[in-house]
């Protein structure tokens, strides 16, 4: 899942980027408001973390411009301003959430997960499909009562498919959200990871697989699937 961090404090931005990468997200950073507006308009992000006090263009203007441009990406305002009027202005301008500095990282991550679930068929941090249980907070995955170990990219693929349940996710979309720019479209690396993921999930029944192949397009998990 791709997140854009817009923060002019380079140390904080770097810390946030590392935190989100450790959680399996693909995280990009912009320090300038005008550049952030351009980037968020052109690129496809699942979430934007946006500071208000920015050079080039302030965060509220970035927010208003993105909403005027019909960019509906969920946005968390992250700012030192903490009075009611600022919160109201931010939310009325189109922000989905507001988190004042300083903040606790578990709270930020919880808000990120909550917004990632918005507009999906998933309404809980724990997802159950067939005999598969995925805790998106702890990243624990179980098959029945057995806890299994996934690589970060295997987990990211599984979470992406679950958050898009009943929708086909293309190989290109998986590549963009899991590998970002470090991906060679000419390789079969997505298919290899899907194959390894199926083995770990004991998803071997081709007539009733949790992860179904949509030939020529990508993969899908249906909410009626049984592993």
- CATH fourth-level superfamily of 2-117: Response regulator (3.40.50.2300)
The chain-wide mean pLDDT, for the chain, equals 88
Instruction: Establish whether domains 2-117 and 126-221 are of one fold.
Output: no
**224 burial via Cβ count (<10 Å: 0-12, 13-18, 19+):** exposed
Range list of β-strands (E), 80-226: 97-100, 126-129, 132-135, 140-143, 146-148, 169-170, 211-214, 218-221
Do you know the residue count of the chain?
227
Residues 12-49 have pLDDT tens digits of: 999 999 999 988 898 999 999 999 999 999 988 999 99
pLDDT tens, residue by residue, 55-73:
999 999 999 999 999 999 9
pLDDT at 227: 39
- The CATH label, of 1.10.10.10, 1.10.260.40, 3.40.50.300, 2.60.40.3500, for the domain at 126-221 is 1.10.10.10
Tell which wins on pLDDT, 87 or 15. Answer: 15
pTM (predicted TM-score)? 0.78
Which residues, in sequence order, are bridge partners of residue 75?
Answer: 48
pLDDT of residue 183: 64
What integer is the mean pLDDT of 115-138?
Answer: 85
Residue 191, exposed/middle/buried by CB under 10 A (0-12, 13-18, 19+)? middle
Angle (CA) 50 51 54, round 5°: 120
pLDDT of residue 184: 65
Total Cβ atoms within 10 A of residue 101: 13
Within the chain, how many helices (H) and strands (E) appear?
8, 12
Domain boundaries, the chain: 2-117, 126-221
């Amino acid at each position: 899942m791709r997140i854009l961090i817009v923060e002019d404090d380079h140390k904080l931005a770097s810390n946030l980027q590392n935190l989100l990468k450790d959680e399996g997200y693909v995280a990009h950073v912009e320090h300038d408001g005008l550049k952030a507006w351009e980037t968020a308009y052109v690129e496809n992000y699942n979430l934007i973390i946006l500071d208000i006090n920015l050079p080039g263009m302030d965060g509220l203007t970035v927010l208003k411009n993105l909403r005027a441009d019909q960019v509906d990406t969920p946005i968390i305002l992250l700012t030192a301003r903490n009075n009611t009027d600022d919160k109201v202005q931010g939310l009325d301008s189109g922000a989905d959430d507001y988190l004042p500095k300083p903040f606790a990282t578990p709270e930020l991550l919880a808000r990120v997960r909550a917004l990632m679930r918005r507009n999906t068929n998933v309404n809980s941090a724990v997802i159950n499909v067939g005999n598969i249980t995925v805790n998106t907070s702890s990243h624990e995955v179980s098959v029945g009562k057995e806890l299994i170990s996934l690589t970060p990219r295997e987990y990211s693929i599984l979470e992406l498919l679950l958050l898009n349940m009943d929708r086909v996710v293309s190989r290109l979309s998986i590549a963009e959200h899991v590998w970002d720019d470090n991906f060679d479209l000419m390789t079969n690396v997505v298919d290899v990871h899907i194959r390894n993921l199926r083995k770990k999930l004991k998803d071997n029944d081709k007539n009733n697989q949790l992860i179904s192949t949509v030939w020529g397009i990508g993969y899908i998990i249906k909410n009626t699937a049984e592993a």
